Amino acid sequence: MVYGNHCNLIDAGKEMKTEGNLPTYNALLNYYFGVKFPSRDEKITTNSSLTFTLGLIAVITLAFFAFAILVILNQRRYSEMQRDFINNMTHEFKTPLTSIQLSSDFLSKQPAIQHDDRLNRYTELIRTQYQRLNSQVEKLLNIARLESSEFKLKSESIDMHQLLDEVLDTKAAESGIEGRVFNRKYYATQHHITGDRTHMGNVINNLIDNAVKYSPADKPIDIITTDENGMVKVSILDRGIGIAPVHQKHLFRKFYRVPSGNVHDIKGFGLGLHYVRKILRMLGGDIQVNSTLGEGSCFSFHLPIQYE
């Protein structure tokens, strides 16, 4: 092997120096060519450190990404388990509730019970508790349907004023609401929308039900409709306990209820407003709340009007 001296391509006038001899390998029969870069050692070490650092960052990133995927998959599995549980539970409740309803209706029509105040009061209590439990079961069923990938809303023409009257007439006939005043202030000139009549009825019923639960029985509730930028606006105004500003932004979260300490005099699952907003958004609308603590609340929603 012969060392070929220093070949300087940058500065041709620089003096060439012999740095040393390349090692000779007697076992190698053929010639080979070797190139030495004396000034490259430090840079190679620096590049190796940078490569190691970048590799470490890449490994940490991949580990974090894998952990995030695992968490998402677990949450999805828990969500599916929760949805299946709600479906099974609510459907199991439906059968005995139907039996209770039929039995209470049959009992209330019996002459012996109609002429006995005590038995009549017990029958009415059964019917009231049936309505209360059935309402909660329906809310759970509606939420379970919403989270199903197969859930779709019907598309039909709805007269909002007519639908409001139907819901209010039904609500006024419920036990415990006798004497409640509902002021119907229908100012909207265009009040036909396209949507699902059943679910829109549930939306209105939930909002009115909240107004009834959170306001005194001697205070009226206003239902107002107006025209607003090509949409019909429906407002439910009560004069009840109101909602603190810190809680208003969380009202539409699933299972969220305004804290009331250890007092649970108003029952519910915190699903009604979550269901309301989801249905309205699926129909191209939305809902807002304006409330003052101790003075009352106003829930307003907008929906696109139907053009003929």
Residue 282 CB-half CA count within 13 A: 18
Do 110 and 180 belong together in one domain?
no
pLDDT score at 66: 92
Q: What percent of the chain has pLDDT over 90?
A: 25
Pick from 83, 115, 146: which residue ends a domain?
A: 146
pLDDT of 116 = 83
Report whether pLDDT(125) > 80: yes
| Whether 172 and 244 share a structural domain | yes
Mark whether 108 and 162 lie in a shared domain: no
pLDDT tens digits for 217-252? 888 999 999 998 889 999 999 999 899 888 888 888
Residue 109 has pLDDT above 70, yes or no: yes
Q: Which of 44-58, 98-112, 263-277 has the highest mean pLDDT?
A: 98-112
Cα 30 versus chain centre, distance: 75
* CATH number for 199: 3.30.565.10
Q: Is residue 219 part of a domain?
A: yes
Does residue 23 fall inside a structural domain? Answer: no
Instruction: With cut-offs at 50, 70 and 90, classify the pLDDT of residue 1.
Output: very low
Half-sphere exposure of 300 (CA within 13 A, CB side): 15
Does residue 126 lie in a domain region?
yes
| pLDDT-wise least confident of 248-257, 274-283, 285-294 | 248-257
Q: Are residues 193 and 222 in the same domain?
A: yes
- Whether 58 and 135 map to the same domain: the answer is yes
Lowest mean pLDDT among 16-20, 54-58, 134-138: 16-20
E strands present in the chain:
156-159, 182-186, 192-195, 221-228, 231-237, 286-292, 296-304
Residue 13 has pLDDT above 70, yes or no: no
What is the C-alpha to C-alpha distance for residues 233 and 287, in angstroms, rounded to an integer?
Answer: 10
* Whether residue 164 sits in one domain with residue 75: no
Which residue spans within 160-292 are E strands per DSSP?
Answer: 182-186, 192-195, 221-228, 231-237, 286-292
The answer on 242 and 137 residing in a single domain is no
Of 103, 124, 146, which residue sits at a domain end?
Answer: 146
Q: Which of 146, 177, 207 is the last residue of a domain?
A: 146
Q: Do 142 and 161 belong to one domain?
A: no
pLDDT given at position 46: 54
Any idea what the Cα angle at residue 79 is, between residues 77 and 83, rounded to 5°?
120
Q: What pLDDT is recorded for position 264?
A: 45
Q: Which of 123-127, 186-190, 228-232 has the lowest mean pLDDT?
A: 123-127
**285 and 198 belong to one structural domain:** yes
In a shared domain, residues 67 and 162: no
Q: pLDDT per residue over 56-99, tens digit each? A: 999 999 999 999 999 998 888 877 777 777 777 777 777 788 88
Q: Which residue has the higher pLDDT, 297 or 307?
A: 297
Q: Are residues 69 and 195 in the same domain?
A: no
pLDDT score for 39: 57
Give me the pLDDT at residue 134, please: 79
pLDDT of residue 262: 46
For the chain, percent of residues with pLDDT exceeding 70: 77
Domain range spanning residue 85?
44-146
Query: What's the chain's average pLDDT?
Result: 80
The tens digit of pLDDT for each residue in 27-61 reads 555 655 666 665 555 555 556 677 888 889 999 99
Residue 26 lies in a domain: no
d(CA 194, CA 143): 22
Query: Using one digit for the tens of pLDDT, what is the confidence trace for 192-216?
Result: 999 888 889 889 988 998 898 888 8
